Amino acid sequence: MGAALALGAALGISLPAIAELLPALEAVMVRRVNEQIAANRD
């Protein structure tokens, strides 16, 4: 989470906006990682 906040701040995104968007972004990241894990099992 700290890295996401730092990245957003470096991009000039306000901390309240990052905090608002983080749950949705985290959900996408988890799905993509799970897809990669599943693809590597085959």
Note the pTM of the prediction, 2 decimals.
Answer: 0.61
Residue 3 has a pLDDT of: 85
Q: What is the pLDDT along the chain (42 residues), one digit of tens a residue?
A: 788 889 899 999 999 999 899 999 889 999 999 999 999 997
Residue 17 CA to residue 38 CA, distance in Å, equals 32
Residues whose CB is less than 8 angstroms from the CB of residue 18 and which lie 6 or more positions away in sequence, other chains included: 4, 5, 8, 9
Residue 24's pLDDT is: 92
- At 13 the pLDDT is 94
CA–CA separation, 15 and 9 (whole Å): 7
Domain range annotation of the chain: 2-41
